[in-house]
A and B are shown apart, each in its own frame.
Chain A
Amino acid sequence: DAGVTQSPTHLIKTRGQQVTLRCSPKSGHDTVSWYQQALGQGPQFIFQYYEEEERQRGNFPDRFSGHQFPNYSSELNVNALLLGDSALYLCASSLLGRTSETQYFGPGTRLLVL
């Protein structure tokens, strides 16, 4: 049973470019949440997808967008990259509404913007 997978593991971009990060949830999970973790900080919630729709959103600009596919996998897109977007991007999957369920995290994608 595969856990949460993310791709790519590392990525280098330049300012102004666009990036797409991918996440496949744990088998049986239907909800994907994305987090940004700057160096030395705790993760910050970006948004959550359920039933192919953005269900909740944190305090991130519209440059950050996402998508969920019918197979529950998800993409995070960031447009017009800024230096400050350099971070570890974490994806976590869960079952919506199941208070007894924990969130399972992927290994993350480390993005460096030059």
Chain B
Amino acid sequence: KNEVEQSPQNLTAQEGEFITINCSYSVGISALHWLQQHPGGGIVSLFMLSSGKKKHGRLIATINIQEKHSSLHITASHPRDSAVYICAPHPNYGGSQGNLIFGKGTKLSVKP
């Protein structure tokens, strides 16, 4: 079983829709990243959070450490949000950071 599970794997939405991407993980973590990867390959870190909720523009990320679950929400989605969104926890079983583990990503396509 993968240590990080994301759902859905693929998501198609109409412009303006509210989008939720879920991430569940099985290891203890110190923090969790949500990353955005565009077709060129470059990765941008959207959020790093260890508790509660963070908001940046139309993006909201939440995490429940006890339930080992995080969600990424996009409000008023736009075609430029089309990308692969990757959940990447920082495991703490190694006692240190740096070796992020990654979900397989959720491919989002927002249609105009």
Q: Are B104 and A41 in contact (CB under 8 A)?
A: yes
For this complex, into which size category does the number of interface residues on chain A fall? 20 to 34
Q: Are A56 and B99 in contact (CB under 8 A)?
A: yes
Q: Are A90 and B98 in contact (CB under 8 A)?
A: no
Instruction: Given A42-B103, A102-B48, A105-B35, check contact A56 B43 (CB 8 Å).
Output: no
Partner of A88, one of B35, B41, B96, B97: B41
For this complex, into which size category does the number of interface residues on chain B fall? 20 to 34
Q: Are B41 and A103 in contact (CB under 8 A)?
A: no
Task: Count A/B pairs, Cβ under 8 Å.
Answer: 71
In chain B, what residue has the closest Cβ to A88?
B41
Q: Inside 8 A of A33's CB, which chain B residues have their CB?
A: 98-100
Q: Inside 8 A of A31's CB, which chain B residues have their CB?
A: 98
Q: Are B40 and A107 in contact (CB under 8 A)?
A: yes
Partner of A58, one of B44, B96, B99, B104: B99
Q: Are A42 and B40 in contact (CB under 8 A)?
A: no
A9–B40 alpha-carbon span in the complex (Å): 10
Please list the residues of chain B having a beta carbon within 8 angstroms of any beta carbon in chain A: 4, 30-31, 33, 35, 40-45, 48, 50, 86, 88, 94, 96-105
Please list the residues of chain A having a beta carbon within 8 angstroms of any beta carbon in chain B: 31, 33, 35, 37, 40-45, 48, 50, 55-56, 58, 88, 90, 92, 94, 96-97, 99, 102-108, 110
